[in-house]
Amino acid sequence: MRVKFGIAAVAAVALVSGCGDSTAVESESERPVMFEPCDDIPDEAIAELGFDPATADRGVAGVDQWGWGICKWSGETHNIAISYAERSLESLRDTGNNTDIRHVGEPTPEAHTWRRLGEEEFICEVTWPNGTGAGQLTVYKRPGADGERMTENICDAAVGYAIALGDLLPRG
């Protein structure tokens, strides 16, 4: 009986709170994102890149971020995150936390890579414009001995994964 009452109370509060004020702001969890990597990229494509689809982690530490679609997967020596932001490439690039910014022209002609200040050897992002937002693929070296076994240049790896995923990534 208590469970039924609780469900009814929640439904009533939701119904009442949705009425009246037409200027109500959407909550973070209600805001739609054009691209959700955990949902929109097939597990097979992630496995082909060498990452474990079962390790998919949505958002940041499992929490969705407003205006972003983010998913991370683990690999043996490094991890990747694929995201879509409702922000411009320029706003992502020009944060003051990025260094070694380079135009790479892949996976789109306007794509750039950069490294995070203070973590240049461990994190590299390839980012490209997509409509009013930007797509991004980030490679994170795993800490310790696992990450030390990654022999490929971290930015080359990021660009290579973005190219390999091709049309599965948001572009346009």
17 domain residue, yes or no: no
> Is 108 inside any structural domain?
yes
Domain range for 47 is 37-145+161-168
Higher pLDDT, 91 or 6: 91
- The total number of structural domains that make up the chain: 1
Amino acid code (one letter) for 154: I
Residue 134 included in any domain: yes
Q: Does 23 fall in a domain?
A: no
3-state helix vs strand vs coil in the chain, percent to 5: 30, 30, 40
55 domain residue, yes or no:
yes
pLDDT band at residue 87 using 50, 70 and 90 as cut-offs: confident
- The predicted structure's pLDDT at residue 67: 74
Cα–Cα nearest to 49, from 169, 144, 143? 169
Q: Which of 118, 162, 117 is nearest to 139 (CA)?
A: 162
pLDDT at res. 143: 80
Q: What is the pLDDT of residue 8?
A: 34
Helices (H), the chain: 2-17, 37-40, 43-48, 89-93, 145-148, 154-165
Q: Is residue 56 part of a domain?
A: yes
Q: How far apart are CA 150 and CA 166, in angstroms?
A: 23
Distance between CA atoms of residues 98 and 120, nearest Å: 9
pLDDT for position 172: 65
Q: For residue 155, tell me if it sits in a domain.
A: no
More confidently predicted of 124 and 69: 124
For the chain, percent of residues with pLDDT exceeding 90 = 52
Decide if 4 is inside a domain. Answer: no
